[in-house]
Structure 1
């Protein structure tokens, strides 16, 4: 399976009164990881949107294991957990600067037409993207 990595430096504005990253900010970092994975596979989500296709989140699961703190550089690992040509489930790990697992999670998405929100087949509309996802999930 192919795993993409991206680094994030924790900004002061992302922390709460306890000095740790506010829980909702981890979800933003998952999006950064997902975007990086797509780019690492040779595509851009913005190009899909230009074609009138969106990939809304249908489910998200996040487990908090250890806090990340201001000034640390954390690593977001992202991979394709499952993919069937219509739905994609991404897996994530966020590691602290010392390499400990801070967060694990998944997000599920389905591609839809922008105007109707009706599901569409990635396999049919974006065959190159489909092939890359099939290959990435098997590696």
Structure 2
């Protein structure tokens, strides 16, 4: 699986007084996309952490093109950029229901051993799921 799309409505608490989504919330939207991408692959982020693997973000780039507003239905498309190694990289496009592109983004995360706090190679169970 290369990509996955999720959708949801913008909640009131995610907006400013003008009803515009606060820019910092987009990082959470990207995280929602990543977590659901993993879940669709059959991988629980929670279980991965319980098994001693975490995925901290080491790079985040967001290009804001248009605003999202309270109660907008938005879609976050998450795409794996390449086969992961120590790092895993995703591209994102966030659109509204009018199919206007709101945001283009990219994140790079690194696989880490929780107890040693050291980078590790992408676990085989993830690579195996990507190949099947």
Q: Secondary structure at the match of 1:77?
A: strand
Deviations 1:85-122 (A, max 9, x none): 21101110110121110001011001111122101112
Q: How far off its partner does 1:82 sit?
A: 2.5
> Within 1, Cα distance between the matches of 2:84 and 2:2?
16
User: Do 1:85 and 1:130's aligned partners in 2 also have CA atoms closer than 8 Å?
Assistant: no
The alpha-carbon distance between structure 1 residues 11 and 84, as it changes in their structure 2 partners (threshold 3 A), is closer
Structure with greater helix share of residues = 1
Report the counterpart of residue 61 of structure 2 in structure 1.
61
Q: Secondary structure at the match of 1:95?
A: strand
> Within 1, Cα distance between the matches of 2:79 and 2:45?
16
> Within 2, Cα distance between the matches of 1:56 and 1:85?
14
Q: How far off its partner does 1:130 sit?
A: 1.3
Q: Does 1:129 align with 2:131?
A: no
TM-score of the superposed pair, with normalisation by structure 1: 0.88
Q: How far off its partner does 1:132 sit?
A: 2.7
Range with bigger deviation, 107-116 or 81-90: 81-90
* Structure 1 runs of 4+ with >4 Å offset: none
Q: Secondary structure at the match of 2:118?
A: coil
Deviations 1:57-82 (A, max 9, x none): 00000010010111111000001012
Root-mean-square deviation (CA), in Å? 1.5
Report the counterpart of residue 96 of structure 1 in structure 2.
96
Aligned length, in residue pairs = 132
Q: How far off its partner does 1:11 sit?
A: 0.6
Q: Which residues of 2 match residues 77-116 of structure 1 at below 5 A? A: 77-116=77-116
